Amino acid sequence: MKMMVLLGSGALATLMLSGCASQPPALQAFSEPTDGRSMQYACGNGEKVVMQFYPEQGRSVLRRSGWTVELPKQAAETGYAFSNGPTTVLGKGNELTIQIGHLAPIWCRSRSMMVAGVQ
């Protein structure tokens, strides 16, 4: 049991550090967008996240639990998808799912519909 806890803790630390290494330092303190394309979500695990959409730049920024991650836009059959490899956000309408590595997906929902320019 102790071995499993140690392995799990090590894997989590590696995942967290690899996510930080892929972010440019300027994104660590990302400012609020001036174009109003920011959405707040309440997630099934009790946390709140913010997605900032920049469709003209083909990217979004995910803010959760004190972390800021830039996610380039990816092709999606329906809805939208953003991913930097370890972190993926898939969404449609006012719902989104956050997938981080091999961890369980986090389902989230906003109160209002998605912003214009993000399909």
> What domains does the chain contain, in order, with CATH numbers?
2-109 (2.40.128)
| Residue 2 DSSP label | H
Cα–Cα dist 12/29, whole Å: 23
Question: Exposed, middle or buried: residue 25 (CB in 10 Å: 0-12, 13-18, 19+)?
Answer: exposed
pTM over 0.85: no
Better pLDDT: 30 or 98: 98
Residue position matching structure tokens 């630390």: 13
Would you state the pLDDT for residue 112? 60
Q: What would the pLDDT profile of 4-60 be if each residue is shown by its tens digit? A: 444 444 444 444 444 444 433 333 333 344 454 889 999 999 999 999 999 899 999
**Could you tell me which residues come within 8 angstroms of residue 65 by beta carbon, excluding any fewer than 6 positions away?**
47
Question: Which of 39, 41, 38, 21 lies closest to 87, judged by CA?
Answer: 21
Cα–Cα dist 30/112, whole Å: 23
Q: How confident is the model at residue 111 (pLDDT cuts 50, 70, 90)?
A: confident
For residue 9, give the amino acid letter: S
* Residue 53 · residue 117 · CB < 8 Å: yes
